[in-house]
Amino acid sequence: MKIKGRVWKFGDNINTDVIFPGRYMSITDPEETAKHPFETVYPQFLKEAKPGDIVVAGKYFGCGSSREQAATALKYFGVGAVVAESFARIYYRNAINLGLPILIAPGITEKVEDGDTIEIEFEKGIIRNERTGEVVNAQPLPPFVMQLIRDGGLIPHLKKARIGN
């Protein structure tokens, strides 16, 4: 799987309250959650980001509470992928379970700037910065995780497997 998109760059320790503000926790419709990612800290994101754009962050992205809406909002907004130097484990699992493409790429924040265009080859763990030509190596996702993402997440994957049996 390959994607290409504009980078929206964030720093370290971006917590789930920053990704999806707590005041919207009563929202249960995934499409509605997509109206609020990064609303309080990066209002430009909501105004200018487009489907397929890529969130790049530093260390410990998705720390804080385990709210699933932090991953749901990005998926339903249309974010092409989230790439970070490291993730809070609960966020990482939530993203995979929801089918949001996600990669760990140590050193990524030193190799890209906000507004750059990057191309990601998930199975190989290769990220190319179009502006600089630099390549960053990420931890490739195992084949079974890639299948979950292709299927749209854990629940669609299980439904597909059940239908196939």
Domain around 33:
2-164
Tell whether pTM > 0.85: yes
The 10s digit of each residue's pLDDT in 36-77 is 999 998 989 999 999 999 999 999 999 998 889 999 999 999
Contact 78, 100 (CB under 8 A): no
The 10s digit of each residue's pLDDT in 6-16 is 999 999 999 99
The 10s digit of each residue's pLDDT in 113-131 is 999 999 999 999 999 999 9
Structural domain count of the chain: 1
Q: How far apart are CA 96 and CA 130, in angstroms?
A: 26
161, pLDDT greater than 90: no
Q: How far apart are CA 39 and CA 76, in angstroms?
A: 15
163, pLDDT greater than 80: no
CA geometry: angle 144, 51, 151, nearest 5 deg: 20
Q: Give the mean pLDDT of 140-163.
A: 92
110, pLDDT greater than 90: yes
DSSP H helical ranges for the chain: 16-19, 30-33, 43-48, 69-77, 89-98, 108-111, 143-150, 154-164
What residues does 81 pair with on adjacent strands? 54
> Which is it for the CA torsion 53, 76, 108, 122, positive or negative?
negative
Three-state DSSP state, 38: coil
CATH number of the domain bearing residue 159: 3.20.19.10
